[in-house]
Structure 1
Amino acid sequence: MSSREKILTAIRANKPGQRELPEVNIPVSYEGLVEKFTQIATAIGAQVFAVDRITDIKAKLAEIFSPSKRWVSSMVEFGDVAETSIAEVDPHTLEDVELSIIEAVLGVAENGASWIPEQNLPQRIVPFICQHLAIIVPANKIVPTLHQAYEITAGSEYGYGAFIAGPSKTADIEQSLVLGAHGPRSLTIFILS
């Protein structure tokens, strides 16, 4: 028997038995979820705007970002300002995307994260390769904690999804924070009522 097999046999022999997951009871408040989500998302570097209509989002995006650059979206409502049929394109052709507009299924108040399943992503690479990311979060789909988010997403069928919170960032040993280090340089969140 090889050393590798000896090690694997020892591990299998000492494997602990299955245990039930613990019951987690965290006190949860459903009050002020939009305000809490906004506060946390802003604290981690996102811009957050409360809006009533898609037209409000388009107007604000045109103020912030250059409409002459490449915008993409998974939402057909943005077909007049962004490319919406990129699901079948070669992902390598997306290297010049200035702005990606995607819709979240839910938001998490405790950490400012937005859940984006693959159905809302025309290409998996889009929210990570674009220069700027805009996420639309329905106000009535903001939950207090990740526990509630996982309860909602647990029964869903998806092969891929991501919780996205804030623009990408990194800090070196000297505690110098850099936004947009390895992904979008900015995150703009629209809370759609």
Structure 2
Amino acid sequence: MSARDNILKTIAMNQPEFLEIPVIDTSVVIQYDDVYTQFKTVLQGIGGKTELISDIAVIQEQLAADKKNLSFVVNTIPALGDVDEQVAFLAAAELERVVKAYVKGTLGVAENGAVWVYESQMINRLVPFICQHLVLVIEKENLVDTLHQAYQKLDVSKEGFGAFIAGPSKTADIEQSLVIGAHGARSAVIYVLE
């Protein structure tokens, strides 16, 4: 028997006992009196911004102004106007120039300020991570209290890729100082549609 086989046999003999996944009673997890207020508070605490709006025209006007004034703006949301389908075929070197990206989110989580985005909503999975400024749009009715509730509502196997995005890119690894935009979007604004 080879050394490799001995190692693998030893590992196989020293496995921990199998434990069933715990059943979590979601009726006893955190519930917020005002889900939007909690979402907004947490998001601001992690460097993002949120705005509650009642008319999508607000975002449409901002997108039109951004497309006029900024060098490379990407829209992936059909409700806002023309979708920039060409980004599906662009490589990272070309997407690196994206100044601002508008992306539709599926749902938001109040406990951590995260928004779930499916790959199809991104058009290109690099878009929300490579842009300088990220705008996410979700409906207020799609805010949930916890990740437990989020996973009950989501079909994470629906597509090949999806992600929870919680505000702008950030790290605190560098001398224990929080750095925003270290390896991704420098800002994130989440519009919540009533």
Deviation sequence 1:50-90 (CA, Å, 0-9, x none): 1122211133456789733211122123335x634422334
Kindly report the root-mean-square deviation, in angstroms, between the aligned alpha carbons of the 2 structures. Answer: 2.3
Residue 123 of structure 1 corresponds to: 124
Residue 2 of structure 2 corresponds to: 2
Deviation sequence 1:31-56 (CA, Å, 0-9, x none): 31111101111111111111122211
Q: Does 1:111 align with 2:112?
A: yes
Residues 62, 172 of structure 1: CA spacing in aligned structure 2 closer, same or farther, 3 A cutoff?
Answer: farther
TM-score normalized with structure 2 length: 0.88
Kept in 2, the 8 Å contact 1:168–1:181? The answer is yes
> Which consecutive unaligned segments of at least 5 residues does structure 2 have?
none
Q: Does 1:151 align with 2:152?
A: yes
C-alpha distance in structure 1 between counterparts of 2:68 and 2:188, whole Å:
15
Spell out the pairing of 1:10-49 with structure 2 (5 A cutoff): 10-25=10-25, 26-29=28-31, 31-49=33-51
Relative to its length, the structure with more helix (as a share) is 2
C-alpha distance in structure 2 between counterparts of 1:103 and 1:119, whole Å:
10
Residues 186, 65 of structure 1: CA spacing in aligned structure 2 closer, same or farther, 3 A cutoff?
Answer: farther
Alignment identity in percent?
Answer: 41
Residues 66, 39 of structure 1: CA spacing in aligned structure 2 closer, same or farther, 3 A cutoff?
Answer: farther
C-alpha distance in structure 2 between counterparts of 1:173 and 1:127, whole Å:
23
* Selected match of 2:75 from 59, 73, 77: 73
Supply the AA of the counterpart residue of 1:36: Q
TM-score normalized with structure 1 length: 0.88
> Which consecutive unaligned segments of at least 5 residues does structure 1 have?
none
The structural deviation recorded for 1:16 is: 3.5
Q: Paired residues, what number?
A: 192
Kept in 2, the 8 Å contact 1:78–1:84? The answer is no
Residues 88, 63 of structure 1: CA spacing in aligned structure 2 closer, same or farther, 3 A cutoff?
Answer: closer
Residue 103 of structure 2 corresponds to: 102
